[in-house]
Amino acid sequence: MSNYLRVTTPVEGSDGKTRFHNVGVAFPQREGSRSKMKIKLHSLPINGELVLFEPNTSDDDGGDLTE
């Protein structure tokens, strides 16, 4: 597992496909910490839904994922 996760929100396109728009990153906390993750959002999802993914090397372009 990487040292962070990508935080995304699902958005349905006009073609009916769901795409995952990047809205932030999540970092696991240290062993023994009272919390499990720290999430930093760059924008707020208007649908109120967050989905976390491990980063891929092909995700460096900052593009959205398609389901």
Domains in the chain: boundaries? 5-56
For residue 44, the one-letter residue type is L
The DSSP H or E segment spanning 53 is strand 51-53
pLDDT confidence tier of residue 56, bands split at 50, 70 and 90: confident
38: left (phi over 0), alpha (psi -120 to 50) or beta: beta
Per-residue pLDDT of 1-53, as tens digits, reads 569 999 999 999 999 999 999 999 999 999 899 999 999 999 989 999 999 99
Q: What is the pTM of this model?
A: 0.74
Checking if the pLDDT of 60 tops 80, the result is no
Structure tokens at 21: 């728009």
Residue 64 confidence (pLDDT) above 90 = no
